[in-house]
């Protein structure tokens, strides 16, 4: 990086990727057969001093797609009593994803990033459901990388010694109310705070920006070895 490069940008920090925190609530574990019932996405930004903070949030309740499998055990877990209730104010997958993708593309463009990358807790699960829903909805302009993610379960295991979201947040001094858990909105907001804390903690410890490493030639005569 040159001296002119602004390191306090998402583009510089994440190699051109635009991180977006996502959580989904579902009616099972199979992204291809089980209903997507709720989704939330939070974009991130850096302040002038290079600290990562949450930015914009979009949240939707979603109606099960036609023919979707619904496991009662999953509903008992996430507390969604009736996925078809009009009181949920749910929209279909296509409408929800179009709005979320629109927000992501706008933020990605503003940050001059090449592609969005999903941040999630046990990210493979959320990523698989978003990708499956986008395919069912025939959305060709999916901003997310097709397989790369930032998994906060793995990152918090490394940085905090905890892999469960509630325990990781507690260790990081982020308030977490278990009564609110398994709501896509609540879990996404806490995951966003957790990811920001891990990234910012690494910065506070001196891990970013990367130190300039002198080559042996530079150490001896001040000349660059090419």
The binding site for Mg(2+) consists of: 23, 25, 182, 187
Question: Beta strands of 62-205 (E only): which ranges?
Answer: 115-120, 144-151
Matching residue, tokens 């990086």:
1
Those residues with Cβ within 8 angstroms of residue 215's Cβ, 6 or more apart along the chain or in another chain: 224, 225
Written as six digits, the tokens of 200 are: 């910012």
Closest by CA position to 23, among listed 189, 184, 153, 132: 184
* Cβ–Cβ < 8 Å for 24, 130: yes
| Element of type H or E holding 68 | none
Beta-carbon count within 10 A of 135 CB: 13
Polymer length of the chain: 226
Between CA 193 and CA 121, with CA 162 as vertex, the angle to 5 degrees is 50
As annotated, the active-site residues are 182
Residue set of the binding site? 23, 25, 182, 187
Say if strands 36-46 and 17-26 run parallel, antiparallel, or are unpaired: antiparallel
């Amino acid at each position: 990086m040159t001296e002119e490069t602004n390191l306090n940008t998402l583009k510089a920090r994440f190699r051109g990727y635009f991180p977006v925190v996502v959580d989904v609530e579902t009616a099972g574990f199979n992204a291809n057969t089980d209903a997507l019932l709720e989704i939330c996405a939070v974009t991130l930004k850096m302040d002038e001093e290079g600290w990562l903070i949450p930015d914009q949030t979009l949240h939707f309740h979603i109606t099960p797609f036609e023919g979707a499998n619904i496991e009662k055990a999953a509903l008992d877990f996430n507390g969604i009593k009736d996925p078809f209730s009009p009181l949920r104010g749910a929209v279909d997958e296509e409408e929800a994803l179009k709005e979320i993708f629109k927000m992501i593309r706008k933020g990605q463009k503003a940050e001059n990033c090449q592609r969005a990358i999903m941040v999630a807790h046990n990210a493979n699960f959320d990523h698989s459901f978003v990708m499956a829903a986008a395919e069912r909805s025939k959305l060709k302009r999916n901003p997310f990388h097709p397989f790369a993610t930032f998994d906060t379960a793995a990152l918090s295991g490394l940085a905090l010694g905890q892999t469960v979201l509630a325990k990781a947040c507690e260790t990081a001094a982020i308030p977490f109310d278990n009564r609110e858990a398994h709501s896509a909105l609540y879990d996404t907001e806490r995951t966003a705070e957790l990811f920001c804390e891990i990234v910012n903690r690494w910065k506070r410890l001196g891990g970013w920006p990367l130190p300039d490493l002198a080559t042996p030639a530079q150490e001896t005569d001040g000349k660059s070895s090419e």
